[in-house]
Amino acid sequence: MNRVPAEIFKAYDVRGPVSLLSSEVAYWVGRAVGAQARARHIKTIALAGDGRLSTPELMQATEHGLLEAGVSVCKLGLASTPLLYFAAKHHADASGVMITGSHNPPEYNGIKLVLGGETIDGAALQQLREQIEADDLPLATGGVVQHIDVHADYLRQLKQAIGLANDISRRIKVVIDCGNGIAGAVAPRLFRELGCEVIELYCDVDGHFPNHHPDPQVAENLRELRAKVAELNADIGIAFDGDGDRLGVVTRSGQIIPGDRLLMIFASIVLAQQSGHVLYDVKSSRAVAQWVRQLGGTSEAIPTGHSHMKRKLKQSKALLAGELSGHFAFAGWGVDDALYAGARLLCSIADGLELDALLAKLPICLSTPELQIALTGAGHLLVKDIAAKAQFPTASSISFIDGLRIEYADGFGLIRASNTTPVLTLRIEADDASALHRIEQELAAAIAPLPFPQYSLNQ
């Protein structure tokens, strides 16, 4: 009998409904992570969890497994993923375990893993599962639990990394919507300590997520944030996902900034200080590369996924990496930390950046939102079959680094399997409506007999 369900070992983490991701599974994951840590001479691992109802039980079981493997635990308790990454780097041999379902529904949870500064994903995650099934999990003694609070140290080093001697240069009025996720336990305090006037919206941590789903890239989830920004004439609205590593932004005028356009704004900020390289995921607009080139930088498309982004940021020595989903990582900080990204943005606004004015200068294309088709079978096998059979008569090239990104002279189309949920992901961007319709027809033919989803254009 299998100890753990294979289907919850995803591309970037362990994730699934708690009917599958049980406390017993979390225990075995803890044992396996502990065994791998000891094999790498890692003695201490940081452990934290988000505000989901299932998290305390899963965190306790994971801790039990780590201790039985002979590894000591630096326990943060309930904390955001960025604070877990920080604690891992500075207090726990660059190793950490985060219990979080991120932006998934309340009945889901997950486990993100870092050992020696490297995210455990892909083949390494499957190796972890195989180690559990092979019962290659030596017991050991010597593990102890230390409770730690890293908030003050995190704030001090964040300020130092951004270049703040004290507070930001002028008082910013910011509305913060944490969607009842774990970021609510840290973000309001953090931004107040940076010198902002903070208005809280759904910042009480509640694993039922009673107000809206904690996914800041879905426009409906930002409806009340937009209204509050307008009501209070705030400088900006900021939203976080369930564990605080994805950022959403609403401007003073009420514009929601898509993740790829927010990446272009961050590129403007960092490339004004020095020239360098910018990374964007395959779901992002062609306008990212165009804008970075205008700013004198270079850019590169990479596979979607926070682990790919951080690894490539380090390997390429890029200044910045970002995704359509709202993950951003900066050189010098190194991880996808929405608190840090939000602080960088607020500092720039305090120094005179006008978000609405800059958005008006960015290149604009017609684009669909991220479209999804629910699947019952394996999405990656379906995409592989589409790649083998489909034809795209008017395409200029096709990239296979993450699904199919089909490039055209006047746009692009994307067909890829999600690595976190059983869906096929599609996106189209084009210079005009006729080009978008043509690309849609080619993608629709490629995925047939699956129906092409209905959508409204982002403009």
Name residues whose C-beta falls within 8 Å of residue 126's C-beta, 6 or more positions apart in sequence.
Answer: 9
State how far the Cα of 204 lies from the Cα of 186, in Å rounded to an integer.
10
Distance of CA 291 to the CA centre of its chain: 23
Q: Give the SS3 label for residue 41.
A: coil
Nearest to 59 by CA among 19, 95, 99: 99
Q: Output the CA torsion 232→237→241→246 (10° steps).
A: -170
The answer to whether the CB of 363 falls within 8 A of the CB of 287 is yes
- How far is it, in rounded angstroms, from Cα 394 to Cα 311? 34
Single-letter code of the amino acid located at 235: D
Cβ contact 44:92 at 8 Å = yes
Rounded to whole angstroms, the Cα distance separating 234 from 252 reads: 6
Going by C-beta distance under 8 Å and a sequence separation of 6 or more, which residues neighbour residue 357?
A: none
- 71 with 95: CB under 8 angstroms? no
Would residue 102 show up in a list of annotated catalytic residues for this protein? Answer: yes
- 3-class DSSP assignment, residue 241: coil
Tokens representing 74?
A: 């630096």
Report d(CA 280, CA 381) in Å as an integer.
25
Beta strands in 18-101 (DSSP E): 44-49, 72-78, 96-99
How far apart are the C-alpha atoms of 74 and 96, rounded to whole Å? 9
Q: How deeply is 261 buried, as exposed, middle or buried, from its count of CB atoms within 10 A (0-12, 13-18, 19+)?
A: buried
Q: Tell me if 65 sits within 8 A of 33, measured CB to CB.
A: yes
- Choosing from 102, 284, 285, 299, which is the catalytic residue? 102
Give the Cα-Cα-Cα angle 349, 344, 270 (nearest 5 degrees): 95
Length of the chain equals 459
Catalytic residues: 102
